[in-house]
Amino acid sequence: MACFAVPAAEAVITTVAELVLRSREKKNAQKEEKTEGAALTLRAEKTPFSRKLGWLNRLLWGGSFLLLFEHIWHGEVIPFFPFLTGAANPADAAEMLHEMATSGVAMAALVTLFWLAMLGVSTLAGRRNAAARRAVKEKQE
Amino acid sequence: MTLLVTAFAAVISFILWYRKAPQDEWKISFLCWMYTGASLMWLVDAVVEYLSVGAAYFTPAPADLLNDLFLGLSVILLGLCIWAILLLIRDPRGVIRKRNGRGGKEE
């Protein structure tokens, strides 16, 4: 009925978080560029967290948008007030809220778990690459 | 059926993206994220429905199957349309920019 609203709400929060983090990382990078220089090139190879948060944003926004389309298809979202057929009367509203609390929360949780798994894979790949680079450097020395 | 169609689209777009990764001139990753997100959400819908109707979930009525197939294909088309608009806006090959530039010179 309106289960997509929960991941969409999470997407709004994570988008704001991404924007804040990105501006903070930019400021920090500028500071470090002035003070350190060479150490920055090593750090720059690491994927910044704001970019990783962007992956979650895209998953949430993309999924929510296509689910919104599905709800329009099924006539659950309408172009006039109250916009959701489930919000027309209290009985339907209760059912809608129940669906949001069960399916909606489960959707947001599954997408977040998927993203966490991606973070794990990304971290492992990063460590493996760093170890390989270190080994090559040691050989050269 | 909608889940199945979208999941196929997610896998195909992932393969297309991975062939040229980490380069992403065509912004195929946009399709990957969108279809994967939707597939995960519809997977939850499918599990919830399976828990309520049981094995009957796997034997839908032909009319429902057809409606879901239409919905799945429409979802794919909508995703592709959004991607095409994004591609036109970003214009990675600079086709539109070049054309506009040339038009300006001709005038």
Note the pTM of the prediction, 2 decimals. Answer: 0.86
Alpha-helix runs per DSSP H in chain A: 5-35, 38-44, 49-73, 90-99, 105-140
Q: Which domain holds residue A56?
A: 5-140
Out of B6, B35, B45, the one facing A103 most closely (by C-beta) is: B45
Who's near B97: CB < 8 A, 6+ residues apart? B91
Q: Inspect the interface and report whether the beta carbons of A66 and B38 lie closer than 8 Å.
A: yes
Out of A4, A62, A103, the one facing B48 most closely (by C-beta) is: A103
What's the rounded Cα separation, in Å, for the pair B50 and B52? Answer: 5
Who's near A91: CB < 8 A, 6+ residues apart? none
What's the rounded Cα separation, in Å, for the pair A48 and A29? Answer: 11
Q: What does pLDDT average to over chain A?
A: 87
Domain ranges of chain B: 2-106
A49 inside 8 A of chain B by CB: no
What's the rounded Cα separation, in Å, for the pair A84 and A71? Answer: 9
Tell me the pLDDT of chain A (141 aa) as tens digits.
788 899 999 999 999 999 999 999 888 888 887 776 555 555 556 788 899 999 999 999 999 999 999 999 998 888 888 888 888 888 888 888 999 999 999 999 999 999 999 999 988 988 888 888 888 888 887
What's the rounded Cα separation, in Å, for the pair A140 and B105? Answer: 54
Q: Could you give the C-alpha distances from A1 to A63, A67, A68, B52, B64, in angstroms and in order?
A: 15, 10, 10, 16, 18
Q: Which chain A residues are closer than 8 Å to B42 by Cβ?
A: 67, 70
CA distance B1 to chain A (A): 13
pLDDT for position A45 = 61
Number of domains in chain A: 1
Q: Inspect the interface and report whether the beta carbons of B38 and A63 lie closer than 8 Å.
A: yes
Q: Inspect the interface and report whether the beta carbons of A66 and B79 lie closer than 8 Å.
A: yes
DSSP annotation of A77 reads B
Q: At what angle do helices A105-140 and A5-35 cross, to 10 degrees?
A: 30
Q: Which chain A residues are closer than 8 Å to B71 by Cβ?
A: 70, 73
Count how many Cα atoms sit within 13 Å of the Cα of residue B85 in the half-sphere of its side chain: 5
